[in-house]
Amino acid sequence: MPTPNIENRAFWEYSVSRYTKGDMAPLALLLQDNHKVNVNVLLLICWCLENNVIINLPQLKAVIAASSATEEKLQYHRARRKAASPEKGGDQAEYDALKAQELELERQQQHDIVASFNEQPVTHLGQGQSVSSNVFNASIAAFINAYGLRDNNEARQLVSLVVNQLS
């Protein structure tokens, strides 16, 4: 089975549709804010699960490393946007401009993530094969270990709820 590639635009569209479906956004934000999880990497794991792709721990660590160039900028920008929120007395136009800039940074980060992912020799099971719990566990285990969540019950529960959003 050839190694799957992701196209930047297709992954952005997948991410937007997945992020806005069900409880994905609030769950992802809890993982981001409380457990330092990169939401774009979380969405990549979701894509892997839904496309019968297994990404292992060293491969995922390479993807996370590729996202680190924009992660610090995103964290800083996100804090500025939250501080400028109209609920905190900020100007709506300024908040909207910061939100648009943040989305552009998210796109840049996704571009880096996709480029790194496409360099990895991930395992593709093919469309005809059923996805067993072992497949889910392989990619999820890599994610949990990459972010040091193994001993964190709350974070693992949130990850489980995210995976349940996929069905």
pLDDT mean over 3-13: 91
Q: How many domains does the chain have?
A: 1
Within a domain: 143? yes
Residue 117 pLDDT greater than 50, yes or no = yes
Q: Would you place residue 128 in the very low, low, confident or very high pLDDT band (cuts 50, 70, 90)?
A: low
Per-residue pLDDT, averaged over 145-154, amounts to 97
Residue 2 located in a structural domain: no
C-alpha distances in angstroms, 119 versus 59, 60, 88, 124, 128? 9, 11, 43, 14, 24
Q: Is residue 44 part of a domain?
A: yes
Average pLDDT over residues 52-73: 95
pLDDT category at 81 given cuts 50, 70, 90 is very high
Mean pLDDT of 135-144: 81
**What confidence category does residue 155 fall into, taking pLDDT thresholds of 50, 70 and 90?**
very high
Residue 1 domain-assigned?
no
Q: Rounded to an integer, what distance in angstroms lies between the CA atom of residue 123 and that of residue 1?
A: 8
Q: Each residue of 108-137: b (16+ CB within 10 Å) or e?
A: ebbbbbbebbeebebbbeeeeeeeeeebbe
**Which structural domain, as residue segments, surrounds residue 132?**
8-165
Q: Is residue 138 part of a domain?
A: yes
Give the range with max mean pLDDT: 49-53, 102-106, 129-133: 102-106
pLDDT digits (tens, 9 = 90+) for 11-51: 999 999 999 999 999 999 999 999 999 999 999 999 999 99
What's this model's pTM, rounded to 2 decimal places?
A: 0.90
User: How high is the pLDDT of residue 135?
Assistant: 44
Rounded Cα distance between 136 and 49, Å, is 6
- Alpha-helical (H) ranges within 7-165 are 8-19, 24-35, 39-50, 57-83, 92-119, 133-146, 153-165
Mean pLDDT of the region 113-142: 76
Is 3 part of any domain? no
In a domain, 119, yes or no: yes
